[in-house]
Amino acid sequence: MSISDDEVRAMAKLARLAIEESDIPIYAEQVSHILELVGQMNDVDTTDVEPMAHPQDLVARLRPDRVTESDNRDAFQRNAPRTEDGLYLVPQVIE
């Protein structure tokens, strides 16, 4: 299984990763190697095998719907690269 330069560009777009044009063929080759490795899965017949999403076959635990957290905005925004008046700053989105 090999993957083309265009497919790498498409994946990079989906994953929001800027990749230098000169690095695209390198990624294509390396990703293809990984896909070759995982391609061994096709050697086995898995018809009627139920997919296993999780090690525990448990239902998700529910909790009462009540407030457990107070407002921690200041603490959280201490890690933000850019804030102003308690808001996160981003490049202009709407003209």
Partner 1 sequence: MSDQFPSSVAQLAAGLRDGEYSSVELTKAYLTRISEHDDALNSFITVCDESALAQARAADAAIAAGAANNLCGVPYANKDIFCTSDVRTSCGSKMLDNFIAPYDAGVVERLNAAGMVMLGKTNMDEFAMGSSNETSFYGRTCNPWDLSRVPGGSSGGSAAAVAASLAPIATGTDTGGSIRQPAAFCGISGLKPTYGRVSRYGMIAFASSLDQGGPMGRTAEDLALLMNVIAGFDERDSTSLEMPDEDFGRLLNKPIENARIGVPSEYFGPDLDAEIGALLERAIAEFEKLGATICEVSLPNSQLAIPAYYVIALAECSSNLSRYDGIRFGHQCENAVDLTDLYERSRAEGFGEEVKRRILVGTYALSSGYYDAYYRKAQQIRRLIKQDFVNAFDDVDFLIGPTTPDVAFTAGCHSSDPVTMYLSDIYTTAVNLAGLPALSIPAGQVSGLPVGLQLIGNYFSEAAMLGLADRYQKNSSWHLSHPSEICAGGPS
Residue from 22, 61, 71, 95 that binds partner 1 (CB under 8 A)? Answer: 61
Cα distances (angstroms) measured from residue 28 to each of 7, 15, 42, 70, 78: 8, 15, 21, 47, 38
Instruction: Give yes or no for a contact between 2 and 35, defined as CB atoms under 8 angstroms apart.
Output: yes
**Distance of closest approach, residue 77 Cβ to partner 1, in angstroms:** 8
User: Contact between 44 and partner 1 (CB under 8 A)?
Assistant: yes
Shortest distance, position 94 Cβ to partner 1, whole Å = 11
- Name the residue among 69, 55, 3, 11 with its Cα closest to residue 34: 3
Shortest distance in whole angstroms from residue 67 CB to partner 1? 15
Positions that interact with partner 1 (CB under 8 A) = 3, 7-8, 11-12, 14-19, 27, 30-31, 33-42, 44, 46, 49-56, 60-61, 63, 72, 75-76, 78-82, 88, 90-93
